[in-house]
Chains A and B, each alone.
Chain A
Amino acid sequence: MPPELTAFGRRFKLSGYTLTTRPPLVDDIDDHKKDTLFLTDLPGIAVLAQMGYDHYNRAPPDTGQPYPAHAQSDTFQFPDQFSLVYAGAVSDKVGAWLQLTYNGQAGSVGIDNIDIRYSDHTLDNKWVWGVTANNYLTFQDVWNGIGSYTVPNFNTVTLSSGGVAGTGTSGPILNALGPGSVAGIGAYVFYNDSLYFELSAYHSAVAGGNSPTIDSVSLAANGGAVDRFAPYARIAYERDWGYHSAEIGGSALYVNWVPSVGYISAQQQAAAALAGNTYTPGQTFNPGPINRYTDVSVDWQYQYNGPYNIFSFLGHVTHERQQNSDQLVAATFTGASTPIYTNPTDTLTQFLVTGEYFHNRHYGGLVSFTRTTGTSDPLANGGNGSPANQYETFELDYVPWLNVRFILQYDAYQVVANNQSPFNLSNANFPNSPGFTNVKASDNNTWVLGLWMDF
């Protein structure tokens, strides 16, 4: 539960979660049999539960109804998330993190993060290497400046319309290839507890469909899919001394992305024609259009893990270049319906910095600042076309026991892109919500009261 992995946690994870001192279930175990079968007496099952209570600065409008419903500015997520996790050894050199999650917003149980590892090392432990198979790009990472483990990590996504609070805020694709959309395999080495290098490749692995191909159904379910393989490289250098640990790293990702824009396969087209339906020319793409993303990121983390107090300072700068498919860009668009992008190339830069302090390992807090800027693309983003956002997170934590954390969080927004806000800023007046005018970014400001338990 301490918010970030310590030097110990990183080594545990890189060793493939195989740290175990459990006695074997069967006797007569010799080295040969140990290599063929390994049974654990008590699997390392953990429960992770998060509850949240959110309060918006202003109740969002109800735009979908002719008679507005009583929109509330408060929501309860009880639970917001409830997970069962197995993290531990499967055999001597193979370990796994398997997570099954009930998601409060989706109202359903599904496969969450999975990371299965094979790991080995030289006799003196100077070289640790391994192979990881996982379903979330960056979930395999052991530092917290980038990707899925970035702090702040208690986010309750609130409103369905993009939910500015938390993960709904637009960011680079590097943070977005998660469970249900991709699967990847990677190899890594960790030398002398300091130098880390990893190469991975991700392929689309769309959950919930029975088709292994990227068809219109699975595209629509995920807003798009990875075409062929997306290569990912990661390098990091860590140094530990006394109570201190510092890391600096870089990562690069290249993705051919098939966006969900009404792609219709030749087969579907034929089937539709048989049924007497026609498609407007230009809505049909075969093969589908491909946007090319190149993400380059620099991240850092400093930790002071003292006898009583903990301090950490971390963050990243990620720059993304998005080359839009000719078929979707206004100037080169040949179809009859509307193009999707104004620019042939869009860029996005995200900067995140977080400082966190825990006193006596019980009372803590954090301040985090995120700023995203990018090229203006009115067709893609609506309104003035800017994808920009800027917000801060302030958090107070109370950790009475190591595995229980009470959270009071305030998210303050200065800039919110048009299509990300429940208060869609491009539409300052909501005809269905009389009196709903003068919409500001700060309307999205949110108080969050949370409870997080692991056991």
Chain B
Amino acid sequence: MRKLAITSLGMATIALGTIALAALAVRDAHSATLIVPPDPSTMGTQALVNNACSKCHGQYGVSASPLFPILAGQLPGYIEAELKLFRLRGRSDPRARAFMWGIARGLTDEQIKGVAQYFSTQPAVKGGGSSNPALADKGKLLYENGAPDRDIEACTVCHGHSGEGVNTQPRLAGQHRDYVAIQMSQYRGGLRENKVMQHVTEKMTDDELAAVVDYVATL
């Protein structure tokens, strides 16, 4: 038995050596004839969008289900930052774990940039509006002014006057109402980590949360 083991090990070494030599030979031959510049990514942006992103977020970034955010017109900085967070497993809300951790696992920086560019340049959609104008008005007040007495900052500071977003702070305008509502409740419960958002949502009452969500839906 022992003899056999040694023999197979020997065989393996020889085999490995042969493969290595062959690989070297191929590599040499190859570098001499290289014409196409190496592409570091497995998939170009369009292929990624077609084969992966579009399955949930829609071909043009307008998802059908509010489980998945609308990405059309989203700021490229935000998409990039989030994809990098997913890749690092730094964002651990349940749906991020279930879907985006796996998807983003092997993305290169170039791919992330490409995808962010693609979705940010798709035409944005307009919010669905509110069925309760009184509630939306209340939300507008809070959205624009915050509540300084309770240490609640105005949403406009980070998300812009009409929800257009600033740098890596996401665009909210046109987003699925339910998606926004779910995110707010996840920030509040600490399921989605963000110090500012957690602080703000914890200070807000349930009614205030509902009002802001309702107003954001009109943007």
Which of chain A's residues have a CB closer than 8 A to the CB of B106? Answer: 21-23
**Across the interface, do A7 and B64 meet the contact criterion of CB distance under 8 Å?**
yes
CB contacts under 8 Å to A, within B99-124, are: 102-108, 111
CB-based A-B contact count at 8 angstroms: 74
Which of chain B's residues have a CB closer than 8 A to the CB of A125? Answer: 50, 54, 59
* In the complex, A86 has a CB within 8 A of chain B: no
Which of chain A's residues have a CB closer than 8 A to the CB of B37? Answer: 30
CB contacts under 8 Å to A, within B39-53, are: 39-40, 42-43, 46, 48, 50-52
Report the nearest B residue to A308, measured CB to CB: B182
* In the complex, A445 has a CB within 8 A of chain B: no
**Across the interface, do B64 and A8 meet the contact criterion of CB distance under 8 Å?**
no
Which of chain B's residues have a CB closer than 8 A to the CB of A242? Answer: 64-66
**Across the interface, do B42 and A22 meet the contact criterion of CB distance under 8 Å?**
yes
Which of chain A's residues have a CB closer than 8 A to the CB of B59? Answer: 124-126
**Across the interface, do B50 and A121 meet the contact criterion of CB distance under 8 Å?**
yes
Total contacting residues, chain B, CB less than 8 A? 33
* In the complex, B81 has a CB within 8 A of chain A: no
Interface stretch of the complex, out of A11-19, A60-68, A413-421: A11-19
Residue from A22, A29, A124, A307 whose CB has the most chain B CB atoms within 10 Å: A307
CB contacts under 8 Å to A, within B155-190, are: 178, 182
* In the complex, B9 has a CB within 8 A of chain A: no
**Across the interface, do B178 and A29 meet the contact criterion of CB distance under 8 Å?**
no
**Across the interface, do B104 and A28 meet the contact criterion of CB distance under 8 Å?**
no
Q: Using an 8 Å CB-CB cutoff, how does the interface string of B138-152 with A read, 1 for contact, 0 for none? A: 000000000000000
Report the nearest A residue to B35, measured CB to CB: A30
CB contacts under 8 Å to A, within B54-107, are: 54-56, 59, 64-67, 98, 102-107
Report the nearest B residue to A402, measured CB to CB: B98
Q: How far is the CA of A402 from the CA of B104 in the complex (A)?
A: 19
Which of A12, A31, A307 contacts B36, CB < 8 Å?
A: A31
**Across the interface, do B38 and A28 meet the contact criterion of CB distance under 8 Å?**
yes
**Across the interface, do A8 and B56 meet the contact criterion of CB distance under 8 Å?**
yes
CB contacts under 8 Å to A, within B184-213, are: none
Q: How far is the CA of A21 from the CA of B36 in the complex (A)?
A: 22
**Across the interface, do B42 and A24 meet the contact criterion of CB distance under 8 Å?**
yes
Which of B42, B46, B64, B182 contacts A29, CB < 8 Å?
A: B42
Which of chain B's residues have a CB closer than 8 A to the CB of A29? Answer: 38-39, 42
Q: How far is the CA of A258 from the CA of B164 in the complex (A)?
A: 68
B38 to chain A, nearest CB (A): 5
Report the nearest A residue to B65, measured CB to CB: A243
Q: How far is the CA of A396 from the CA of B37 in the complex (A)?
A: 57
Given A30-B39, A31-B36, A124-B59: A21 touches B66 (CB 8 Å cut-off) = no
Report the nearest B residue to A41, measured CB to CB: B106
Q: How far is the CA of A12 from the CA of B52 in the complex (A)?
A: 8
A4 to chain B, nearest CB (A): 15
Which of chain B's residues have a CB closer than 8 A to the CB of A73? Answer: none
Report the nearest B residue to A27, measured CB to CB: B38
**Across the interface, do B42 and A123 meet the contact criterion of CB distance under 8 Å?**
no
**Across the interface, do B64 and A240 meet the contact criterion of CB distance under 8 Å?**
yes
Report the nearest A residue to B37, measured CB to CB: A30
Report the nearest A residue to B47, measured CB to CB: A92
Q: How far is the CA of A121 from the CA of B47 in the complex (A)?
A: 10
**Across the interface, do B55 and A21 meet the contact criterion of CB distance under 8 Å?**
no
**Across the interface, do B103 and A305 meet the contact criterion of CB distance under 8 Å?**
no
List 4 extra interface pairs beyond A19-B51, A34-B42, CB under 8 A: A21-B43, A242-B64, A305-B65, A305-B67
Question: Which 3 A-B residue pairings sit nearest by Cβ, starting from the closest?
Answer: A30-B36, A11-B55, A21-B106
List B residues at the A interface (Cβ < 8 Å): 30, 34, 36-40, 42-43, 46, 48, 50-52, 54-56, 59, 64-67, 98, 102-108, 111, 178, 182
A-B contact pairs, 6 of them (CB 8 A): A15-B51, A15-B55, A21-B111, A29-B38, A30-B36, A243-B67
